[in-house]
Structure 1
Amino acid sequence: MMVPSSAEADERGRGPQDTKPISADALAVRLGDIARKLQHQVDTDSILEGIVHAALELVPHAADASVSLITGHRTIDSRAASSDLPRRVDALQSETGQGPCLDASYEERVVSVPDLSTDERWPDFSRPAFNLGARSMLSFQLFVDGDHLGALNLFGKGVGVFDAESERIGALVAAHAAVAVAGSQQVNQLTQALDTRDLIGQAKGILMERYKITAQQAFLLLSRASSELNIKLRDVAEQLTISGEMAKKR
């Protein structure tokens, strides 16, 4: 599910932070509220969507946002994106193996990109990303846990729109979000839960196409196989997506 962009949020009655700066006291209170709410979330998607909502609400000039989960030092999975743009940018970073999200996760805690049309740090990424519609970016490291990394990415509508205040508040949101993620569950559990959901979704799609059945019926088939074989549902789904065949009793 996509998180509403800042423009959509404004249409629902929330005033843009660009025109009404938030006070230090109000910011501290709001960040505390957000951290507490995130820590009580048990659903992984809700945690990530909460992070993106907070960034769009609080960071001046942030028009779009997403959380990127990175594995294997290259593969980037865009989650809780507020529009299709972050997903396309993450796909480009995965393809080229370079970009601000990767640098923020592995090398620097904060990466600022005022103008993607002229930035020379990532020659295979910057101009193509600009052509996709990304004008300026801020990327903040969220967590590092072994081979699992995460970053919060913010996108501006124009070049040079992010200022020192944007970077300062973005870093505070990322820091509070990182504490919430660590407090709610281990990072590897977070990524495993997301991977499991995707595997089951793929397996259900295979069964739906093959047998012309509904999503609910496909899930029941997977669950029955898991119960009869006494193996985890995730393992049943994984075997089906890899081999194309359901696991069988030996």
Structure 2
Amino acid sequence: MAEHNEIVSTVVRELSSIRGLEPSIEKVTQSARLLFDADQAGVTLIRSRGELETVGPTHEIVTELDSLQYALGQGPCVDAVTEQHVVIANDLDSDPRWPEWGPRACSVGIQSIVAADLQADGRRIGALNLYGSRTNQFKGTDAALLLSFSAHASAALAAARTIESLSAALDTRTVIGQAEGIIMERFGVDPVTAFAILKRYSQDSNKRLREIAEQIVERRELPSS
């Protein structure tokens, strides 16, 4: 137990030095796989419109089985991101909770699974999913250690997600500003009018404002109608 706690502490320290959501998720899944004796691992993220997306999978089977859960609306990671903190299945072949998904998982060699919800600022942001090829593979899993790991992982992923969002917003603001400058110089208009022109092109073409701005910056001219 003390050794496992030290591993968690090491992972937390390493996560604090990683920059970017993708490498942070990869560190979480790889570490969880080793720490909890899983064959494969992945993270389910809840996106802005409530869609579920698998990220950082250690194998394509994770994406395949997660996607099947999302399509069917049933499965351990679906339960973990909606209503439970930890979901464990020790024998999917005989588990009645997911009558459609369970047999499909068994057919590709998965017999055990554990899913733990990920929370940040009091709300669920996703789930950590661990897959096993043996029955009872997670029977001895320390729930307290799993929750501790999940809590640290949640904090790290939420921070990385925020930084990534802020960086993307800054990049967008920068390219829009550059496009506004080109329009102002080309047509002798003020910033308000330049932004209005950008917005009109965006609406008329049904393209995002950033996409229009990038075209203007790249070509140094307004897009063709």
TM-score, normalization by structure 2: 0.69
- For structure 2, the 5+ residue unaligned runs are 169-174, 183-197, 199-206, 216-221
Alignment counterpart, residue 156 of structure 1, candidates 107, 132, 150:
132
Distance 1:54 1:158, change over 3 A: same
**Under a length normalisation based on structure 1, what TM-score does the superposition of the two structures give?**
0.63
Give 1:64-213 correspondences, 5 Å limit. Answer: 64-71=40-47, 72-73=49-50, 75-143=51-119, 149-186=125-162, 189=165
Tell me, in whole angstroms, the C-alpha distance in 2 between the residues paired with 1:131 and 1:227: 54
Aligned to 1:58: 35
| C-alpha contact 1:114 1:159 (8 A) present in aligned 2 | yes
User: Paired residue for 2:172?
Assistant: none
The equivalent residue for 1:34 is 11
| 86-95 vs 167-176, greater mean Cα deviation | 167-176
d(CA) in 2 for partners of 1:178 and 1:147? 10
Unpaired runs of at least 5, structure 1: 1-23, 194-223, 241-246
Deviations 1:71-90 (A, max 9, x none): 344x3211111111110011
Distance 1:68 1:226, change over 3 A: farther
Q: Is the 8 A contact 1:52 1:80 kept in 2?
A: yes
| Amino acid aligned to 1:38 | L
Residues 54 and 66, structure 2, Cα contact 8 Å, conserved in 1: yes
Partner residue of 1:48 out of 21, 25, 35: 25
Shift in Å, 1:101? 0.5
Tell me if the contact between 1:137 and 1:153 (Cα under 8 Å) persists in the aligned partners: yes
For the residues of structure 2 that align with 1:141 and 1:127, how far apart are their CA atoms? 23
Alignment RMSD (CA, Å): 3.6
CA distance in 2, matches of 1:25, 1:151: 25
Answer yes or no: is the 8 Å Cα contact 1:76–1:93 preserved in 2.
no
Q: 1:119 to 1:49 in 2, by over 3 A?
A: same
Q: Is the 8 A contact 1:115 1:136 kept in 2?
A: yes
* Deviation of 1:146 (Å): 9.0
Which stretches of structure 1, 4 residues or longer, exceed 4 Å deviation after superposition? 144-148, 224-234
